[in-house]
């Protein structure tokens, strides 16, 4: 029973495969790596869109993709499926992050959440003011929300590059601020960038949400069971004129933060099944009929060890960080510089966006935090100095994913959209560079 071969006794191809998979697993869980992959995807998009093959870039993302059943056919461009369908999964993870933080994280206690909340509000208001000061024209002013968003993955990834010398509470402050920033961005999209409302769509979405609640009440823990009601919510939002990616946020916020109640604790199930298997000859005989029930119990126990909000988020994180977000960057960061006329007023959109991210974010965050502390509305956590707050403010200027997403909702004019995207790319790159430079000096002063 215990005659298991050692690692060295395994076939060489199997040993190499295990080592490679172990290295890949560790690599995928390094926070800075996902930001690097995102940056590479954006660079590839820029190079492709400004190369001799630029036509193929735009033609590729406008290829029609059709799904249908019988007479019901739904045809949209590949660009739509990336931005409106795949990004729903990104927003689902955002919703689950918010749900988890509210339940047990940095937003679970009002006294811990008040300072990041005030800082996030300052980090939205000041960039919007800076942008509007350069873009008061109605056509350009639609982009006021573009520089107000923070790319949580990029910002936390840049902080990870600075190493473990950064105090834990600085990271918690940045994470809490970025999550609140995401909440504000979602509200902005829902309120300011929603087209004409069709209330019939809300009835379809409501049907999907009721079905989700019903499955949860029934104790259904399999994620596959929620695909159909989740699709109904997405379809309802699309029909209603609300951006369908917000369905992901709604579903993420509804994900239970506690395991499904069970008559037997998952660990007790594991212990019971192991005892059954050890006292039975079903494993030796490979009796699939007798093993079916114990193996099912083990799968359920394994699933319910963690609450759904943590389990699903962990399962989806690699797909979102290394699949969906890079694809989004590849589809949307391809700004054709040769075709953009910066002699027109479009260059004010670029300047306003970049300046708001580079200067507006840190000024708003540090300023709002300072006012809140001076007025006694909150206090800095232990080990969080004003140098750490400045570091958070600079890194929060990395807008990227969410900023580009809002830009596409804000502008229908191609020139203004390209200018906004370029402003996001330049502003985010500058914010990341300044943040890393300030962070390196900040760490030296701590040592």
Give DSSP secondary structure letters for 168-219. Answer: HHHHHHHHHHHHHHHHHHHHHHHHHS--S--HHHHHHHHHHHHHHHHHHHTT
**pLDDT band at residue 286 under the 50/70/90 scheme:** confident
Task: Provide the Cα torsion 152, 156, 158, 164; round to 10°.
Answer: 180
Q: How far apart are CA 238 and CA 391, in angstroms?
A: 39
Average pLDDT of span 12-31 = 62
Asked if 301 and 266 touch (Cβ cutoff 8 Å), the reply is yes
Helices 346-355, 110-134: inter-axial angle, 10-degree rounding:
150
d(CA 349, CA 134): 8
More confident residue, 156 or 120: 120
Radius of gyration (C-alpha) of the chain in whole angstroms: 24
Residue 380, pLDDT score:
87
- pLDDT, tens digit, for every residue of 63-105? 999 887 777 888 899 999 998 999 999 889 888 888 888 888 7
Q: Is the pLDDT of residue 1 over 50?
A: no
Interatomic CA distance for residues 359 and 397, integer angstroms = 8
pLDDT at 26: 59
Residue among 398, 277, 229 nearest 329 (CA): 398
Q: Is the CA virtual torsion 87, 175, 357, 182 positive or negative?
A: positive
What local confidence, expressed as pLDDT, does residue 196 receive? 67
For residue 252, is pLDDT > 70?
yes
Return the axis-axis angle of helices 152-161 and 386-395, rounded to nearest 10°: 130
How far is 210 from 229, CA to CA, in rounded Å? 8
pTM for the structure as a whole: 0.80
Helix (H, G, I), strand (E, B) or coil at 76: strand
- Give backbone dihedrals phi and psi of 383, rounded to 5 degrees, phi first: 75, 5
Per-residue pLDDT of 154-182, as tens digits, reads 888 788 788 778 888 888 898 889 888 88
Question: Which tens digit of pLDDT belongs to each residue from 301-323?
Answer: 777 788 888 888 888 888 888 89
Confidence of residue 47 (pLDDT cuts 50, 70, 90): very high
State residue 114 phi and psi, 5-degree precision.
-65, -40
Whether the CB-CB separation of 180 and 116 falls below 8 Å is answered with yes
Separation CA 119–CA 113 (nearest Å): 10
């Amino acid at each position: 029973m215990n005659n298991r071969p050692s690692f060295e006794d395994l076939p060489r191809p199997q040993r190499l495969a295990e080592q490679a998979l172990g290295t890949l697993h560790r690599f995928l869980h390094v926070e800075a790596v996902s930001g690097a992959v995102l940056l590479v995807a954006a660079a590839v998009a820029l190079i492709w869109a400004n190369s001799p093959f630029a036509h193929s870039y735009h033609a590729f993302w406008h290829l029609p993709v059709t799904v249908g059943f019988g007479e019901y056919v739904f045809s949209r461009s590949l660009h739509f499926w990336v931005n409106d369908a795949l990004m729903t999964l990104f927003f689902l993870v955002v919703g689950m992050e918010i749900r988890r933080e509210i339940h047990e994280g940095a937003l679970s206690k009002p006294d811990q959440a008040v300072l990041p909340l005030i800082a996030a509000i300052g980090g939205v208001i000041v960039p919007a003011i800076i942008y509007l000061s350069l873009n008061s024209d109605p056509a350009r002013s639609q982009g006021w929300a573009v520089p107000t968003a923070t790319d949580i993955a990029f910002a936390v990834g840049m902080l990870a590059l600075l190493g473990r010398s950064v105090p834990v509470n600085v990271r918690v402050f940045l994470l809490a601020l970025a999550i609140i920033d995401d909440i504000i961005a979602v509200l902005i999209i829902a309120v300011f960038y929603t087209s004409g409302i069709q209330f019939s769509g809300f009835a379809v979405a409501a049907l999907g949400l009721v079905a989700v609640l019903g499955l949860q009440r029934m104790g259904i823990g399999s994620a596959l069971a929620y695909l159909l009601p989740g699709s109904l919510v997405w379809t309802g939002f699309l029909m209603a004129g609300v951006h369908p990616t917000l369905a992901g946020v709604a579903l993420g916020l509804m994900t239970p933060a506690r395991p499904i109640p069970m008559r037997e604790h998952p660990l007790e199930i594991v212990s019971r099944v192991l005892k059954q298997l050890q006292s039975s000859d079903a494993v030796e005989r490979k009796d699939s009929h007798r093993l079916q029930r114990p193996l099912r119990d083990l799968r359920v126990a394994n699933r319910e060890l963690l609450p759904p909000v943590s389990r699903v988020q962990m399962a989806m994180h690699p797909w979102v960080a290394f699949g969906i977000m890079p694809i989004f960057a590849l589809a949307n960061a391809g700004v054709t510089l040769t075709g953009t006329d910066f002699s027109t007023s479009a260059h004010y959109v670029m300047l306003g966006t970049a300046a708001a991210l580079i200067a507006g974010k840190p000024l708003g965050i540090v300023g709002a935090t300072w006012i809140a502390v001076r007025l006694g509305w909150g206090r800095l956590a232990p080990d969080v100095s004003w140098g750490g707050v400045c570091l958070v403010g600079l890194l929060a200027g990395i807008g990227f994913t969410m900023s580009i997403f809002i830009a596409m909702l804000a502008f229908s004019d191609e020139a203004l959209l390209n200018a906004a995207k370029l402003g996001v790319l330049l502003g985010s790159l500058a914010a990341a560079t300044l943040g890393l430079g300030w962070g390196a000096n900040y760490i030296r002063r701590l040592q």
